[in-house]
Structure formats: C-alpha cells, structure tokens
C-alpha cells in the first residue's frame, strides 16, 4: 500500500463529507427557520456516524451546533 496515496484518498473523501455535510446542515436549518421549527437562537444536537462495513467500523461523533 502506498501511504501517500492512501492519505490523499482519505483526505479527498473527508473533504467531500465535510462540504456535503455543511450544505445539508445549512439547508436544514434554513428550512426549519422558514417553517418555524427553529427561532434562530437555539443549539441543535448533531450526530455523524462513520461506517465502513468491509472493515467492521462504526463510529459516532456527537456535537452541538449553536445558531447564535
């Protein structure tokens, strides 16, 4: 295995995950503000689950997103 190529592939995947996740969160918050489910000053709980079935990996990351 070429460690440099492997590292670049992981970074490429994580960049895609980050950009896509940010877009999804922003749109969900905008929609919730528009229809009154959020007022704009809340903190919302978020969870991301990393799953790699072929490696038996499942890892959850929990956090808060402040809308202040």
pLDDT in tens, the chain (68 residues): 999 999 999 999 999 999 999 999 999 999 999 999 999 999 999 999 999 999 999 999 999 999 99
The per-residue pLDDT for 32 is 98
Give the pLDDT confidence of 16-29 residue by residue, as tens digits.
999 999 999 999 99
3-class DSSP state of 30: helix
**64: which strand partners?**
45
The per-residue pLDDT for 50 is 98
Is 46:65 a contact under the CB 8 Å cutoff? yes
Alpha helix (H) residue ranges in the chain: 3-34
């Amino acid at each position: 295995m070429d460690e440099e190529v492997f590292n670049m592939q992981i970074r490429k995947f994580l960049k895609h995950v980050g950009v896509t996740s940010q877009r999804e969160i922003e749109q969900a918050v905008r929609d919730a503000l528009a229809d009154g489910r959020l007022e704009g000053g809340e903190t919302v709980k978020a969870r991301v689950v990393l799953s790699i079935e072929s490696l038996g990996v499942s890892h959850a990351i929990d956090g808060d997103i402040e809308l202040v």
